[in-house]
Structure 1
Amino acid sequence: MNGTAGLTSWAAVPSAAQVAIPPPELRRWLPGNAGIPGVWSFEAERPGPHLAVTAIMHGNEFAGAVVLDRWLQAGIRPARGRLSLVFCNLDAFARFDRDDPTASRYVDEDMNRVWDRAVLEGPRRSCELRRARALRPVIDTVDLLVDLHSMPWASDALILTGETEKAGQFGMAIGVPPLVVADAGHLGGRRMIDYERFTDPATSSAGVLVEAGHHWEAATVIQMERAAAQALRHAGMARTDQPLPAEPTPPRPRMARVTRTVTARSRSFAFVREFRGGEVIAARNTLIAMDGEEEIRTPHDDCLLVMPTPFVHHGHTAVRLAQFVD
């Protein structure tokens, strides 16, 4: 197959019509109670772990902020240990425009690519780096992290764990959503779950990233709240007298490991047909995309497609290819 003839672009750019839930009103939560704007932290009398649930790492992904707003209004508190609810990229969220809903992902750079010690302690400056540096003191005390995200394209919900065994175990223990994917992150920089506190084998701290569904749907909010509630239960921090969603009975979670991260090397990357995230390609060596003249084929049987991106820019991740682990 030569060039990109016959290849498919299957998704429209997200538009105002897709914003099915309103952004939450966060003004009352901006001061925080932990000495850092947008950070709320509550400590129980009984000792226990520090669990943080973070939202709006990307300003247009506000479904997680809906969950945090709901929990703050409901007065959710931990039965033991410490619970922190963190609104991350407040400046980007403040710019959200329903008529251009993807434009507020960040102000200067992706905040979920700056969580490297050398970057955080280096001379570079940006709105997102300033905020990450401000949040670092609280993140440096977190034992369990649940970072809430959503997706612009059709995809099954999943939990991303990075490559550490402890994060994989944490993701499987949460089990909501039931697809857990271990991956190496992005070439463009470290995510919060890749921050050294969560990847250092000398610590027990672990972080997971929940990709809960489409950006602006009520079902995504429900999925996020269930995941966060399951993390609270797993940590032994849930109280029976508080309005958390009922413990679900989902399918047994499955773990997959990314075997290849496909990064667009040309400006003409295109998939051969419409793919949905979570789709499994049965046969090894199946053609799924063309990157200029390069064929992108599945490296093994039963290849899981993780968040294929129909409109991918040069140098960005187009899709991750993963293999299920028994």
Structure 2
Amino acid sequence: MTTLDSGRPGPHAMVNAITHGNELCGALAIEFLDQTGFKPVRGRVTLGFTNVAAFDNFDPAQPNASRFIDEDFNRVWDIEALDGTRRSAELARAREIRPLIDRVDYLLDIHSMQHATPPLMLAGMQDKGVALALRVGEPEFIVRDQGHAAGRRMRDYAAFDDPASLKAALLVECGQHWASSSFTVARDVTLRFLACLDLLEPGYAAQHMPKATLPKPRVIEVTEAVTIETNSFSFVEPFEGQEIIAKAGTVIGHDGGREIRTPYDECVLIMPSRRLAKGQTAVRLGRFVA
């Protein structure tokens, strides 16, 4: 962890990478900030590599094997888990950095995906998360969701998910793992995140801010996360994400003897998983609300 302090009043923002050790685009975005001499013009910015132990195990020959050591680092952020007695490499790391996360006002947690799915900004269920995502302005699709039954994400931790707090967090899914386009998204979203908080020095912004004209953001509200109940889940098609299923009641998968059907017309499939294990999220179901 590195914290850059401007010495001037302002928010404490954090850009976080390698929550999963095999998702490299965020680390490259932070490297870009370092190589281009980024310093905040006000407040403080922490640049973080969280699941370093998993990242240290990265092997290009088995790139998915380094997602975590013992358990998913992005499912351990329940207060009960952090304060409890369960032990794992990921919980130990979360407990170690928890005091820092408690001090952060704005968090950007950078991820990538299994499929070549259009980038997504996961904003949580609070209005403040969606508002921050709209201020960032990229990527086009903003997902309003509750997370996973298997455990709480860092972006949903404590004050970030409290409507009475001004603190807010975002999780950006930049595209497919290891695609060069995912680094481009990670870099551009990071710069836009820092810019919307007025943390970029004008000269730095003029040189490095992306110039592309962006499409108007669209908000997808997730109404259901399909949690796998058996060890024999399968999709009826090789869905990759952002498919829009026209008719309510369409079968999209089977979980043992249970049919998984779309609950409404124009249902959007959000991040269907290849890790189809009992207790995990198979897919999230959503609809456009803006």
Q: Which runs of 4+ in 1 moved over 6 A?
A: none
Distance in 1 (CA, whole Å) between partners of 2:208 and 2:98 is: 28
**What is the CA-CA distance between 1:122 and the residue it aligns to?**
1.8
The residue aligned with 1:135 is 97
Q: 1:7 — aligned with what? A: none
**Aligned-pair identity (%):** 44
Q: Deviations over 1:178-227 (max 9, x none)?
A: 10001111111110011012012221000010000011011000001111
Q: What's the CA shift string for 1:13-50, capped at 9, x where partnerless?
A: xxxxxxxxxxxxxxxxxxxxxxxxxx111122331111
3-state SS in 2 of match to 1:68: helix
Higher helix share: 2
Instruction: Indicate if the aligned counterparts of 1:145 and 1:193 stay in contact, CA closer than 8 A.
Output: yes
1:273 aligns to 2:217 (yes or no): no
Match status 1:264 vs 2:238: no
- How far is 1:233 from its partner? 1.1
Secondary structure of the residue aligned to 1:140 is helix
1:199 aligns with 161
Gaps of 5+ in 2: none
- The aligned length equals 288
Equivalent residue in structure 2 for 1:76, among 22, 35, 38: 38
Query: Cα RMSD between the aligned structures?
Result: 1.3
Q: Which amino acid aligns with 1:241?
A: G
Distance change in 2, residues 1:299/1:123 (3 Å): same
1:311, distance to aligned residue in structure 2 (A): 4.4
Question: What's 2:282 paired with?
Answer: 318
Q: 1:252 to 1:241 in 2, by over 3 A?
A: same
Q: After superposition, give the CA deviation of every residue in 1:113-170 in whole Å (9 maximum; x if it has no partner).
A: 1112221122222111111111112111111110000011231210111111111111
Is the partner of 1:41 in helix, strand or coil?
strand
- Cα offset, 1:323, TM superposition: 1.0
Separation of aligned partners in 2, 1:274 and 1:152: 12
2:238 is equivalent to residue 288 of structure 1: no
**Aligned equivalents of 2:48 and 2:229: distance in 1?**
35
Q: Secondary structure at the match of 1:103?
A: helix
Equivalent residue in structure 2 for 1:249, among 188, 197, 213: 213
8 Å contact 1:112–1:192 — kept in the other structure?
yes
| Residue matched to 1:33 | none
Q: Which segment is superposed worse, 308-317 or 199-208?
A: 308-317
Q: Distance in 1 between matches of 2:152 and 2:190?
A: 22
Say if 2:236 and 2:253, in contact at 8 Å, map to a contact too: yes
Q: TM-score, with normalisation over the residues of structure 1?
A: 0.85
Deviation for aligned residue 1:274: 2.3
- Residue pair 1:230, 1:247 contacting (<8 A) in 2 also: no
Alpha-carbon distance between aligned partners in 2 of 1:160 and 1:75, rounded to the nearest angstrom = 28
- Please identify, of 123-132 and 241-250, the stretch whose mean Cα deviation from structure 2 is larger: 241-250
Aligned to 1:175: 137
1:41 corresponding residue in structure 2:
3
Helix, strand or coil at the partner of 1:149: strand
SS in 1 for 2:121: strand
Counterpart residue number, 1:24: none
Aligned to 1:145: 107
- Aligned AA for 1:159? M
Secondary structure of 2:265's match? coil
User: Residue 290 of structure 1: CA displacement?
Assistant: 1.5
Distance in 2 of aligned mates of 1:248 and 1:43: 30
Distance 2:70 2:189 in 1: 30
